[in-house]
Amino acid sequence: MDQCTLYEQILGLSSPWFVSGVELNKGQGEVVVQVDLDRSVALSCPRCGRTCPGYDSRERRWRHLDTCSS
């Protein structure tokens, strides 16, 4: 299993979302996971189910304490 697939499973991602990259920075003690969207798949509203455009695609960072720490 490759690292992108591993992180997709850890994060519980499914189509149209996928992990496009994983970067380990030991010096800063962080793993950076790049999550992308398959633009060929139509998005739908989670409330009504109707097709809708995407929005708010800015980069974000979350911190998960004690993940894979020793």
> Model pTM greater than 0.85?
no
> 22: domain range?
3-52
Residue carrying structure tokens 């850890």: 10
Q: Which parts of the chain sit beneath pLDDT 70?
A: 65-70
In a domain, 43, yes or no: yes
C-alpha span between 14 and 42 (Å, rounded)? 14
Is 57 a member of any domain?
no
Per the structure, the count of domains in the chain is: 1
Structure tokens at 63: 């911190």
